[in-house]
Amino acid sequence: PKGRKDPRKVLFMAKQTESKPSEFQLVTQFFRKTLKDRGISYRDFARKLDISESGLKKILNGDDTSYQRLSQMARALNMRLSE
- What pLDDT does residue 67 have? 82
> Rounded to whole angstroms, how far apart are CA atoms 80 and 77?
8
Model pTM greater than 0.85? Answer: no
Length of the chain: 83
What angle (nearest 5°) sits at the alpha carbon of residue 7, between those of residues 3 and 9? Answer: 95
Q: Is the pLDDT of residue 6 over 80?
A: no
Considering only residues 40 and 6, tell me which one the structure prediction assigns the higher pLDDT. 40
What are the CA-CA distances from residue 72 to residues 3, 9, 40 (Å)? Answer: 43, 39, 16
Per-residue pLDDT, 77: 92
pLDDT digits over 25-58, tens only? 888 899 999 999 999 999 999 999 999 999 999 9
Find the distance separating the first CA and the last CA of the chain, reported in whole Å.
44
